[in-house]
Amino acid sequence: MHQDLVDLTALADAYGVATRYENAEQREVVVDADVVVAVLAQFGVDASTPEAIRRELDAVRETRERTLLPPTLVLREGTGYETGEAVVHLEDGTQREIERFIPNDLPLGWHRVVTADQDVTLAVVPARLPEVPPAWGWMVQLYALRSAESWGAGDYGDLAVMARRSAHELGAGVLLVNPVQAISPTHPVERSPYSPSSRRFANPLYLRVTATKAFAEADEATRDRIRALKPDSPGLIDYDAVWTAKLAALELLWPREIPDLDPALEGFATFSALAEQHGSDWRDWPEPLRDPESPEVAKAGKELADRIAFHGWLQHLCREQLDAARKAAGDMPVGIVHDLPVGVHPGGADTWALGDTFAPRVRVGAPPDAFSQQGQDWNLPPWRPDRLAELGYAPFRDVLRGVLQYADGVRIDHVAGLWRLWWIPPGEPPSRGTYVHYDAEAMMGVLALEAHRAGAVVVGEDLGTVEPEVTETLHERGVLSSAVLWFQRDYDTPGHPFVPPAAWDPESMASITTHDLPTVAGWLDGEHVRVRAELGLLDGPPEREYASARAEREALTDFLDQQGIPHDDMVSALHTLLASAASRLLLTAPADVVGERRQPNLPGTVGEYPNWRIPLPVTVDEFFTDERVRRLITTLRAARPLHD
């Protein structure tokens, strides 16, 4: 190998940038050198010439020689570490002097290690989370719920009703809800719950205006004005209309009190106030406002103090209503599990506030595979692993705390991202990227510590092409993996037969489908083929796709025969099949039990398909009196009873 390439590989290794990887077909792919150079540039590393590479390597070696400790130490409980003479400053304010080793009896928590030359974060984390109790429940798209009290889209009040009635009337023990992280308070409203402005705060679009204390205390004339603002909801969810109505109502109700805002919330509220004036994407704002530490932002903050306080108040309301929903799920053995998206909008509140913690010009995605031959671009900026370590993983910790403060559990979307993410350099297509590795031991440790403190369960979404190490580590640490019927195949056997549910991994959360896949009714009717054909999204002729769909249905009915499950009613049969899974958690979707044919999200589309806008065909009240619901959950309820 040429010396220049050897040096580039060594430099890339130092920053976790892959110069080669194994693709979905288990073949080695060598990453183009210019892609590696472009990705290193996002770390502020100059690898443009052989001389520059050598200078950067010298700097890396010098740093390693003068530092004994990494910038953050994450140790599993009961583990020591050689450090030399140091003082450990414990989280409780006490300290311990050590001569050589960090002792293995330190309490769980966030501490600091101070030596003569370094001051680093020390996180002592659980080796394993407690066992997840067995339960069945719902995968809920919150916006899709409808009730007499909600305004054109499901809200936190609907979430509370869904949790309470599911436990008391149906015997459900868990409720998984789509991400409810914050949007930018502007038009057009971001529809996708997987591209929030911030993962640290909640979405006020889901507030139930009439459930606030301010509404209860308002005079009757004000309440009448607010009731009159309720938007019509004739069909697809109109997020802009919902937000316009709720914003007007909340502005009428705001008591004009200045809430006590911590620095992080004040920063988010400042972003929200500026976004209302200058647009949702801070990269398009006037130059002086793009830096949250600039004097211009401080000046604007004083001028917008009233508006900043308003947005802070909205977050207090979100917290109150999310807490109420969590209490409503109090009789569930697991409770409400919140979905945590893999990233944030590139021009949103988190990237504005956290600066170079992100690699802002990079997009996260996935390399080419059989399903996406050109790769995938998710348009989400990744965290820089070096900055995470330098900051003691505080950004990741704060995201987890932001969700876990009102959750009984968290589902980590694309959990393999705690190990590595596919970085796409500026100006390149998704196929021209490479993996950047993170310290998975540290990321999993921080996740375990925060979940332990919140008493929360954790589920990792490990679908698709995922290295075996990921799932193995999840189970080792007490985190559930994901098992979806459509993907439970024996890919080492010709024809890829279905794996019997009794053989599914016990340490998993099982479901028939997901929000990115066809609903049960849609799959059985070939709706997913019809829609993609209509939109021109098929790789071949529709006839071939319809034939393939028929073959899939036949394979599934043959599998049901093998399992001894009658399939005159396929929806009932699939729920019976799910009930036989060995998995700890069994989840089904309300849309599947009431026969909705349209899937919530069609990957690869934006405006061509009504992604995230499809309401349930029944109201919440109708759902609980629907004969199909009671009938289809019978086997799930028997398999995972609420009480022993």
The residue from 84, 110, 125 where one domain ends is: 125
In a domain, 278, yes or no: yes
Residue 541: which residues within 8 A CB-CB, separation 6 or more?
A: none
* pLDDT for the residue 236: 96
* pLDDT for the residue 371: 59
Question: Could you tell me if 233 and 287 lie in one domain?
Answer: yes
Q: What pLDDT digit, counting tens, does each position of 90-130 carry?
A: 999 999 999 989 999 999 999 999 999 999 999 999 999 99
Residue among 482, 485, 363, 474 nearest 427 (CA): 363
Token pair listed for 336? 């409400």
Q: Give me the DSSP letters along 152-177.
A: SS--HHHHHHHHHHIIIII---EEEE
Question: Could you tell me if 87 and 44 lie in one domain?
Answer: no
Question: Could you tell me if 46 and 100 lie in one domain?
Answer: no
- The answer on pLDDT for 560 being more than 80 is yes
Q: What pLDDT digit, counting tens, does each position of 562-578 carry?
A: 999 999 999 999 999 99
Assign 133 a pLDDT band (cuts: 50, 70, 90): very high
Contact, 79 vs 100, CB < 8 A?
A: no
The residue from 294, 320, 346 where one domain ends is: 320
Q: What pLDDT digit, counting tens, does each position of 611-627 carry?
A: 999 999 999 999 999 99
Contact, 291 vs 270, CB < 8 A?
A: no
| CA–CA dist 141, 616 (Å, integer) | 9
Question: Could you tell me if 22 and 107 lie in one domain?
Answer: no
Question: Could you tell me if 223 and 280 lie in one domain?
Answer: yes
In a domain, 373, yes or no: no
Residue type, 196: P
Q: Give whole-number Cα distances, 447 to 102, 408, 556, 578, in Å.
A: 22, 14, 37, 29
- The answer on pLDDT for 1 being more than 60 is no
The SS3 of residue 82 is strand
Contact, 173 vs 636, CB < 8 A?
A: no
Assign 143 a pLDDT band (cuts: 50, 70, 90): very high
Share above pLDDT 70 across residues of the chain, in percent, rounded to a whole number: 99
Residue type, 152: G
Q: E strand or H helix at 365, and its extent?
A: strand 363-366
3-state secondary structure 71-124: CEEEEECCCCEECCCEEEECCCCCEEEECCEECCCCCCEEEEEECCCCEEEEEE
Token pair listed for 216? 């209860």
Share above pLDDT 90 across residues of the chain, in percent, rounded to a whole number: 88
Token pair listed for 259? 């809430």
The SS3 of residue 119 is strand
| CA–CA dist 108, 130 (Å, integer) | 15
φ, ψ dihedrals at 396, nearest 5°: -70, -45
Question: Could you tell me if 204 and 315 lie in one domain?
Answer: yes
In a domain, 434, yes or no: no
Cα atoms in the 13 Å half-sphere on the side-chain side of 281 = 9
* pLDDT for the residue 536: 87
Question: Could you tell me if 190 and 315 lie in one domain?
Answer: yes
In a domain, 154, yes or no: no
* pLDDT for the residue 2: 74
Q: What pLDDT digit, counting tens, does each position of 242-258 carry?
A: 999 999 999 999 998 77
* pLDDT for the residue 373: 67
- The answer on pLDDT for 269 being more than 90 is yes
Number of domains the chain contains: 3
Token pair listed for 226? 């607010």
The residue from 66, 91, 115 where one domain ends is: 66
Contact, 532 vs 525, CB < 8 A?
A: no
Residue type, 44: G
Domain that holds residue 218: 186-320
List the single range of 55-69, 431-445, 587-601 with lowest mean pLDDT: 55-69
φ, ψ dihedrals at 241, nearest 5°: -65, -40
Question: Could you tell me if 208 and 315 lie in one domain?
Answer: yes
Residue 385 C-alpha from the chain's centroid: 18
In a domain, 532, yes or no: no
Taking residues 218-241, what's their average pLDDT? 94
| Placement of tokens 């019997």 in the chain | 500
Q: Given CA atoms 505, 511, 516, 518 in this order, what sign does their dihedral have?
A: positive
Give the start-end residues of each E strand in 505-570.
508-511
Assign 24 a pLDDT band (cuts: 50, 70, 90): confident
- The answer on pLDDT for 428 being more than 60 is yes
CB-based burial label for 160 (10 Å; 0-12, 13-18, 19+): buried
What region, left, alpha or beta, does residue 186 occupy, with left being phi > 0 and alpha being psi -120 to 50 degrees? beta
Taking residues 50-69, what's their average pLDDT? 92
- The mean predicted confidence, pLDDT, of the chain is 94
- The answer on pLDDT for 29 being more than 60 is yes
* pLDDT for the residue 315: 97
In a domain, 458, yes or no: no
* pLDDT for the residue 465: 78
Q: Greatest CA span in the chain, whole angstroms?
A: 80
Question: Could you tell me if 273 and 307 lie in one domain?
Answer: yes
* pLDDT for the residue 163: 98
Strand-strand pairing, 81-82 and 174-177? unpaired
Question: Could you tell me if 197 and 251 lie in one domain?
Answer: yes
Q: Give whole-number Cα distances, 101 to 45, 120, 644, in Å.
A: 34, 15, 47
In a domain, 195, yes or no: yes
- The answer on pLDDT for 370 being more than 80 is no
Question: Could you tell me if 212 and 233 lie in one domain?
Answer: yes
In a domain, 142, yes or no: no
Q: Give me the DSSP letters along 464-512.
A: SS--HHHHHHHHHTT-BEEEEGGG-B-TTSTT-PBPPGGGS-SSEEEES
- The answer on pLDDT for 644 being more than 60 is no
The length of the chain, given as a count of residues? 644
Token pair listed for 582? 């060995």
Contact, 592 vs 603, CB < 8 A?
A: no
Token pair listed for 51? 């001389």
Question: Could you tell me if 84 and 15 lie in one domain?
Answer: no
Assign 67 a pLDDT band (cuts: 50, 70, 90): confident
* pLDDT for the residue 138: 98
Residue type, 198: S
| CA–CA dist 425, 322 (Å, integer) | 38
